[in-house]
Amino acid sequence: MQTHMPRPALAFVLTLALTACGAGEPTRTVVDDAALADTIQGDNWLAFGRTTNEQRFSPLTQINDANVSSLAVDWYLDLPGDKGLGSTPLVVDGVLYFIGSMNIVRAVDATSGTLLWVYDPRTREYADRLRAGWDLSRGIAYWDGKVYVATWDGRLNAVDATTGTELWSVQTIDPDLAMYITGAPKAFKGKVLVGNGGTENGPSRGYVSAYDAETGEMAWRFWIVPGNPADGFENDAMRMAAETWTGEWWTHGGGGNAWHGFTYDAELDQLYIGTGNGSPWNRKVRSPDGGDNLFLCSIVALDPDTGEYLWHYQTVPGETWDYNSNMDIVLSDLEIEGAMRKVILHAPKNGFFYVIDRTNGALISAEPFVETTWATSIDPVTGRPVEDPDARYPDGMANVTPTEMGGHNWHAMSFNPRTGLAYYPAMHQARTYTDVGVDPATYRVTNWLVGVGVGGGNTGSTHPTGVLATLQAWDPVRQELAWEVPLPGIYNPGTMTTAGNLVFQGRVDGAFVAYRADTGEELWRHDMGLGITAPPITYAVNGRQYVALLVGYGSLMARGREAAELGWAYGLHTRRLVAFSIDGTATLPPQPPPYVPGPIDFPFDVDRALAARGAVVYGQQCGLCHGGGAVAGGLTPDLRASLVVPRIEDFASVVRDGTRAVNGMPQYADITLDELISLQHYIRARAEADLAAAAR
Ligand code: CA
């Protein structure tokens, strides 16, 4: 572990206006376990899921189903340097804290948007460690006067909540491993927990780590999959897990990275970790003779003080489709068949909605919320899926739903105890998986080679109405859909729900919408002029209720042709933090209309053989962010329109030297001149082909 003293000038205090945001004596909330578990107070939004139960349910009722139609902009803060924004802000005593692009954290007056301080963890200086595509933090944590910030390159930093001064910083990732952090840290019992991503970026063995909130000293680490038995197992849980693996899995890492989905159950004093998919995806490669491969794609309960294993529930034994259980783990008490049960609500990628007994991890019920062809049902006795064996694409192909994007992904699921419904964006599509030509004996893990081709692209909607995405309201007691509305695009953001009988959700087309929570009737909509990726929050200051939202289309799915059609072209639209109230009188400055960039003409003599080689390099290294076929979706510049690409000196400085790291472009220090030249020819070939097609 490395800790260091704060470097000077990491933060600057713009104004000491903290006491000016309320009349009279300011409230000073001590943010501890009791405060984080308090579901009664509505003024603050203290944690990622508002409270420790992760319900994203607010008891506030000033904005409600009778008056939400007059909800209006109260204040806004332009964020011209930001790109994709997907995080959940926190509100503590009238101060709103949020993390934006390049992990920059701002504190603002929650009644006006006036900037109080900016904390820049200087993520851009780690250009050689930035794994492509992941400049999108989902949030921060707050504990006892400190804000906790996990960075793209793997640091966990503590920041003074009053001044924005960095107090300590610890590197949580081996710098030689291709990992990154996008998830929000979680604070509980004087500790801060972080996980990481990286399952697809190279040999990866997932883990979570807890650090002392005061000092940054590591308290414990829990490994998600077993390492090489010859090195000895860290604990009995790893010994047990190793029984479920075959072959030499450790040479591939195994995966299971916990990049999202941490819940501290203050009532039962248990910590729940959602775990990731296998590395590589294809079980045939990483565990050739089968096996469940614990603790991939599971909810694992840990002792919060020691990190010791308590129990687990695995949603996909022998995971092989990039399914994972990193989605939200929401806690509730529900009356099921006449008995009150302490439950986990969980809607992971695999398309089944799970109700799990959180005292012991036993399955209570599971039903599909989207079309599921990989498994028909979950056996209520064994808790195991009833699989379609052909869906494992055994030495061939299979068309499978949900896709590797999931029936539901990380976008926040809220739960309203008044309506008894859970609200989340669902995705309805199929994808072809193929492992033709993959030989486990010779397979080597490289960046985004996952032992399986996700061929054929999206093979269409699996929803009866033909839409790809819907907002669903799910009844976990009856295990059935209560209501559903169609959504634009595919990858829509998460939800928030209130005692005012409301559900709020932004959308990729820029609409911010409020629905009746019980019926799904649309009650209000505001066009933000830019696609939305973040979930909203609500809070109150001086008796006024606000709804706040970050507006900044982004995330890994803001790429490629499907996203490009939305028209949120790279760098065109202003990112914003926007707050609404019933008495709001502000007006947002207009945004440019949606614009879909196209290729530009440029004198360049394309060599077909070089272009073919460049296509391979592009697919492995570039397409993840810049889009398939070099058609960008707005997360990144469209390379077909780039004046940098055709000029080799400029191109090399950006790609090999990392000169655009400030914009989130990682450094590819090992790329060769031959590879760069082949990329030039591929990208210009794509541009010329699209220009020719447009001219026809
Ligand atoms: Ca994955």
* pLDDT, tens digit, 9 for 90 and up, residues 107-144: 999 999 999 999 999 998 887 778 777 889 999 999 99
Range scoring the smallest mean pLDDT among 22-26, 112-116, 259-263, 358-362: 22-26
Rg of the Cα atoms in the chain? 24
pLDDT band at 11 (very low <50, low <70, confident <90, very high): very low
Q: 79 lies in a domain?
A: no
Strands of the sheet containing 495-498, edge to edge, are: 57-58, 495-498, 502-506, 511-516, 522-527
> 620 CA distance to ligand 1 centroid (A)?
15
Q: Are 168 and 157 a contacting pair, CB within 8 Å?
A: yes
For residue 461, give both structure tokens.
């909607």
- What is the mean predicted confidence (pLDDT) over 56-68? 98
Closest Cα to residue 678, out of 622, 610, 626?
610
Within-domain flag for 630: yes
Helices (H) and strands (E) in the chain, counts: 8, 41
Residue 199 Cα to ligand 1 midpoint, Å, equals: 6
Report d(CA 264, CA 272) in Å as an integer: 6
CB 177 within 8 A of CB 447: no
Within a domain: 682:
yes
Average pLDDT for 512-531 = 98
**CA 206 / ligand 1 centre spacing (Å):** 12
Q: What is the mean pLDDT of the chain?
A: 92
Compute the distance from residue 277 Cα to the ligand 1 centre, in Å.
6
pLDDT tier at 223, thresholds 50, 70, 90? very high
- Going by pLDDT thresholds of 50, 70 and 90, the confidence category of residue 5 is very low
Q: What is the pLDDT of residue 9?
A: 37
pLDDT (average), residues 87-111: 98
Q: Which two tokens stand for residue 367?
A: 């039903």
376 residue type, one letter: T
The number of folded domains in the chain is: 1
CB count within 10 Å of CB 79 equals 20
Q: How far is the CA of 263 from the centre of ligand 1 (A)?
A: 20
| pLDDT of 26 | 67
| 156 CA from centroid of ligand 1 (Å) | 22
State the distance from the centre of ligand 1 to the C-alpha of 276, rounded, in angstroms. Answer: 7
pLDDT above 80 (res 21): no
**Ligand 1: centre distance to CA 321 (Å):** 9
Across the range 323-334, mean pLDDT stands at 98
Query: Tens digit of pLDDT for each residue in 249-294?
Result: 999 899 999 999 999 999 999 999 999 999 999 999 999 999 999 9
Q: Is residue 618 part of a domain?
A: yes
- Read off the pLDDT of each residue in 414-435 and give the average, rounded to a whole number: 95
Cβ neighbors of 330 (< 8 A, separation 6 or more) are 49, 53, 54, 55, 263, 344, 345, 346, 413, 414, 415, 422
Given this model, what pLDDT does residue 666 score?
Answer: 87
Compute the distance from residue 318 Cα to the ligand 1 centre, in Å: 14
Q: What is the 541 CA–ligand 1 centroid distance (Å)?
A: 40
Determine the pLDDT at residue 664.
82
Catalytic annotation, pick one of 322, 435, 509, 518? 322
In a domain, 623, yes or no: yes
Spacing, Cα 653 to ligand 1 middle (Å): 30
Report the separation in Å between the CA atom of 432 and the middle of ligand 1, taken as the mean of its atom positions.
Answer: 16
pLDDT at 615: 93
Count CB atoms within 10 A of the CB of residue 582.
18
- Say what the pLDDT of residue 36 is: 98
Dist. CA 447 → ligand 1 center (Å): 12
Residue 454 pLDDT > 90, yes or no? Answer: no
Q: Is residue 620 part of a domain?
A: yes
pTM: 0.94
Q: In this predicted structure, what is the pLDDT of residue 212? A: 98
Tell me the residue range of the domain where 643 lies: 608-695
pLDDT at 7: 38
CB of 550 closer than 8 Å to CB of 103: no
Residue 4 has pLDDT above 70, yes or no: no
The reported pLDDT for the residue numbered 30 is 96
439 is catalytic: no
Measured in Å, residue 551 CA sits from the centre of ligand 1 at 25
Which pLDDT tens digit goes with each residue over 153-200?
Answer: 999 999 999 999 999 999 999 988 889 999 999 999 999 999 999 988
d(CA 574, CA 579): 16
List b or e across 492-512, with b for residues whose CB sees 16 or more CB atoms inside 10 angstroms: bbbbbbbbbbbbbbbbbbbbb
What is the reported pLDDT for 177? Answer: 87
Q: Going by C-beta distance under 8 Å and a sequence separation of 6 or more, which residues neighbour residue 556?
A: 133, 134, 136, 624, 625, 635
Q: How many Å lie between the centroid of ligand 1 and the Cα of residue 200?
A: 6
Ligand 1 centroid from CA 323, angstroms: 7
Could you tell me the CATH number of the domain that includes residue 668? 1.10.760.10
Task: For residue 647, tell me if it sits in a domain.
Answer: yes
Instruction: Label residue 453 by pLDDT band (50, 70, 90).
Output: confident
Ligand 1: centre distance to CA 109 (Å): 37
CA of 610 to the centre of ligand 1 (A): 31
Q: What is the pLDDT of residue 17?
A: 40
Residue 650, domain member (yes or no) = yes
Give the confidence band of 13 by pLDDT, cuts at 50, 70, 90: very low
C-alpha 62 – ligand 1 centre gap (Å): 41
pLDDT at site 498: 99
> Per residue in 577-596, pLDDT tens?
999 999 999 999 999 999 98
What does the pLDDT read at residue 10? 39
Q: How confident is the model at residue 211 (pLDDT cuts 50, 70, 90)?
A: very high
Higher pLDDT: 178 or 65? It is: 65
Report how far ligand 1's centroid is from the alpha carbon of 167 (Å): 33
